[in-house]
Amino acid sequence: MVSRVIPVDPFDLVIFGGTGDLARRKILPALFRRFLAGQIPEGSKIIGAARSELDDDAYRQLVAEALAEFHDGEMDQKCLTDFLRGLSYEQVDAVGEAGWDALAGHMRPDMVRAFYFSVGPSLFGALAERLQLHGMVDPDTRIVVEKPFGRDLETARALNQSLAVHFDESQIYRIDHYLGKETVQNLMAIRFGNMLFEPLWNSQYIDHIQITVAETVGVQGRGDYYDRSGATRDMVQNHLMQLLCLIAMEPPAKFDPDAVRDEKLKVIRALDPVEPQDIVRGQYLLAGDRAGYLEDVENSASTTESFVAMKLHVSNWRWAATPFYLRTGKRLKARASEIAVVFKETPHSIFDEDAGRHRNTLSIRLQPNEGIDLDVTIKEPGPGGMRLIDVPLDMTFSEALGPDSEAAADAYERLIMDVIRGNQTLFMRGDEVEAAWAWTDPIIQGWTERGDQPLAYDTGSSGPDDALALMHRDGRRWREIRE
Ligand code: BG6
């Protein structure tokens, strides 16, 4: 499988928060990989901007160290030196005036200009204002903002408004890195590139859909942020919501940013409020020498959830009778994320009773081992009558396409290059984010008002038992969480 690199014109990219964790872990390694792939053209400039007092060489050193730690591939010294040569640094005060004129001096006319706000949302407005004030905004300027995009509808609205003063919606790229994952985009390819699935993609044939994003990591190191957020704000409002949208949306007329985002928005707006009995929240417990949630966040009274499972209804013609079950949590038994589309059983079995009842399941694995499985029912080979078994038609991308395929590209690589290309399809529009908060807010408010306590679950488990019961009472069961 030959990877295809779509060329882009030289660009200027400024990373605010250029010395921070996200820049070191994700953004710079992603840019380096694109550089190695030959996609960063000669003449492009990458400028780190932050509060620290550094010169260009010290910044290059910092980036070299970050790449040594976070670049997972071979490190060719010559390529590294060439990449670092294209980097520079400006000390900038996000809320003051220092450094802005110098930063403006780097900008070149008639070039794509992107500003990555890899900083807390409280600085978004100040940065946007100063970019405008110092003449760095022209129609070809883009800004990239990270989550958390607000912590409720009100704060998200305020953020959208503060950006809208200086930028048109077509210039704002709100990142949800799940949209950059290869398999997530494949959801659209599978649904809208094959005749096979779309006719069956509705309540008449689909019994239910499960979305699981399970992690083995805890929240240590980010306890402060996490304890103010919880799994619902941190994962459901954004990542799981985006997955749900791509699974449930109507076919857009074109693969065009607004056509796709219009359809996603309709899904969010069609979500019913969730009843309290349809949600289970949990907190992971101490396990041996591994701290429990309360120790990790250093707040023994915390009622924030590190796990949530819920049953949702998308109230429209396509999905009226098909529930969606979502779950996500930390310190679970495996790092495994998948979407499982569970079809109904055949309406009538022509085989003996002991042939059993069978159903097809299409499972889309986001990570690890990205790929797609379709369970189909066949006759068990050999003599002994008509016994049926379910076998997976397996398409693991690294096997089917080769380990070097672009499928291995990190979500950030794809998304950053989409910013440069000016393609917003895989970014959240302001109204989408607000609609997602409008749906999430009452859920969280309900917990607060009722003084709801999360249930404890064992580290290394599948979450609280009540989450299993959420499915059992509907005569269904979660799929095994496994790598
Ligand atoms: C982030 C969340 O957005 O996504 C983290 O803030 C979470 O809590 C992470 O661990 C998961 O991302 P991935 O790509 O590892 O599934």
Q: What local confidence, expressed as pLDDT, does residue 354 receive?
A: 73
Pocket test for ligand 1, best of 26, 222, 226, 239 (most atoms within 8 A of CB): 239
Give the DSSP letter string of 361-379: EEEEEEESS-EEEEEEEEE
pLDDT digits (tens, 9 = 90+) for 291-326: 999 999 999 999 999 999 999 999 999 999 999 999
What atom of ligand 1 comes closest to residue 238's alpha carbon?
3
State the pLDDT at residue 438. 98
pLDDT in tens, 357-366: 789 999 999 9
Q: Calculate how far, in angstroms, residue 204's C-alpha sits from the geometric centre of ligand 1.
A: 34
- For residue 226, the ligand 1 atom closest to its alpha carbon is 8
- The answer to whether the CB of 117 falls within 8 A of the CB of 17 is yes
Q: Are strands 359-367 and 336-345 parallel, antiparallel or unpaired?
A: antiparallel
The CA distance from 418 to 422, in Å, is 6
pLDDT at 103 over 70: yes
Domain-wise residue ranges, the chain: 11-146, 179-472
Question: Nearest to residue 47, comparing CAs of 123, 107, 111?
Answer: 107
DSSP 8-state assignment for residue 160: H
- Tens of pLDDT along 275-290? 999 999 999 999 888 8
pLDDT for residue 220: 80
Q: Which residues line ligand 1 (CB under 6 A)?
A: 177, 215, 234
**Residue nearest to ligand 1 atom 13, measured at CA:** 178
How many Å lie between the centroid of ligand 1 and the Cα of residue 376? 32
Which residue, among 390, 374, 340, 373, has the nearest Cα to 208 in the 3D structure?
Answer: 340
Single pTM value for the model: 0.94
The residues pairing with 287 across neighbouring beta strands, listed in sequence order, are: 290
Which residues, at least 6 apart from 443, have a Cβ–Cβ distance to it below 8 Å?
232, 273, 274, 279, 310
CA of 64 to the centre of ligand 1 (A): 24
Q: What is 179-472's CATH number?
A: 3.30.360.10
Report how many helices (DSSP H) and strands (DSSP E) the chain contains, helices first. 16, 15
Residues annotated as catalytic are 239
Identify the band that residue 72 occupies on the pLDDT scale cut at 50, 70 and 90.
confident
Alpha-carbon distance values, 384 to 352, 358, 389 (Å): 13, 19, 13
Residue entry with tokens 């080769």: 402
Backbone angles phi, psi at 317, to 5 degrees: -60, -40
CATH topology of domain 11-146: Rossmann fold (3.40.50)
Q: Between 39 and 401, name the one with better pLDDT.
A: 39
User: What's the sign of the alpha-carbon dihedral 139, 98, 42, 8?
Assistant: negative
Is it true that 11-146 and 179-472 share their CATH fold? no
Residue 237: both structure tokens together = 């409002």
- Helix 257-269 to helix 430-450 angle (10° resolution) is 20
- CA-nearest residue, atom 6 of ligand 1: 234
